[in-house]
Amino acid sequence: MLDVRGLAVARGGVPVLEGVSFRLSAGAALVLRGPNGIGKTTLLRTIAGLQPALAGEVEAEAETLAYASHRDGIKATLTVAENLAFWAEVYGRTVPDDVWEAFDLHDLRDRMGGTLSAGQTRRLGLARLGVIGRRVLLLDEPTVSLDAASVRRFAGWLAERHLGAGGVAVIATHIDLGLDAPELDLTPYRADPHTATGGSDEAFL
Ligand SMILES: Nc1ncnc2c1ncn2[C@@H]1O[C@H](COP(=O)(O)OP(=O)(O)OP(=O)(O)O)[C@@H](O)[C@H]1O
C-alpha cells in the first residue's frame, strides 16, 4: 500500500537522509525514531509529495496520502462542527458519527475554533483524519499538546478505526503510542551534507 525505495531527502538544499526504504501493507504502521533534526519531518513531507526527493521512489495509490503536521489548520471563525463539515466537504465526504467520541469533541461542537485550548485544537486537527478518509496517514508528532487520556484515545482510534480498517500510518513521534508497530531509527540514514546543492529552502520557511 506504501512502498518507499531508496529515498534521499533534502532540506534547504542540504541532503539530510539517504537510502531510506520500507514497505507497508494494509493495516501496518511504522514509527520513525531519531534525534531532533535528523529529518523526520522532511522525510514525511517528501513521501507526501510536498517536496521533491533527491533520489528514490515512493509508490502509493493516487489520492490515498494525507500528511498531518504540527499545524492544525483550524478555521478560527468556524465552530468545531463547521470545521469538520468543511473538511468533509473538501474531500467529498460526510462527517462520520464516530469522530465525536473518538476525539472527545461532543461538548465542543458549537465552540468557535479560535477559542479552543492548544490540546483541544490538536484534537480537532486530528479529528480531521477521521473525516477525510485517506488510507495512508503520514503523522508528524501527532500527540503534541495532548494530555495522557487524549493520547490514549487517539492511539485507540489509530489502531482500531484506521489500521484496523486496513489503513496504514507512518508516525514520527517521541512518545510511545502503545501501537504494535515496528520502529525505524533514522540515525544510520543520515546523509553526507557535503553533497549540498543550495542554501535555505524558502518554500519551507
Ligand atoms: N529552511 C531550512 N533550511 C535549511 N535547513 C533546514 C531548514 N529547515 C530545517 N532545516 C534543517 O533540516 C534538518 C531536518 O529537519 P527536520 O525538521 O526534518 O527534522 P526532524 O527530525 O523532524 O526534527 P524534530 O525531531 O526536531 O522535529 C534539520 O537539521 C534542520 O535544522
Cα(8) to ligand 1 centroid in Å equals: 14
Instruction: Render pLDDT for 166-194 as a digit per residue (tens, 0 to 9).
Output: 999 999 999 999 998 999 999 999 998 77
pLDDT of residue 8 exceeding 60, the answer is yes
Cα(14) to ligand 1 centroid in Å equals: 10
How does DSSP classify residue 41? H
For residue 141, the ligand 1 atom closest to its alpha carbon is 27
Q: Is the CB of 191 under 6 A from ligand 1?
A: no
Instruction: Render pLDDT for 77-133 as a digit per residue (tens, 0 to 9).
Output: 999 999 999 999 999 999 999 999 999 999 999 999 999 999 999 999 999 999 999
Q: Give me the mean pLDDT over the 159-169 stretch.
A: 97
Cα(70) to ligand 1 centroid in Å equals: 14
CATH 3.40.50.300 fits 27-52+61-195, yes or no: yes
103 Cα distance to chain centroid: 16
Helices (H), 22-147: 40-47, 80-90, 98-102, 118-132
pLDDT of residue 54 exceeding 80, the answer is yes
pLDDT at 193: 73
Q: For residues 168 and 137, is the Cβ–Cβ distance under 8 A?
A: yes
User: Where along the chain do its domains lie?
Assistant: 27-52+61-195
As given in the structure block, the three cell numbers for residue 67 are 500528511
Residues 79-92, buried b or exposed e (16+ Cβ, 10 A)?
Answer: bbeebbebbbeeee
How does DSSP classify residue 113? G
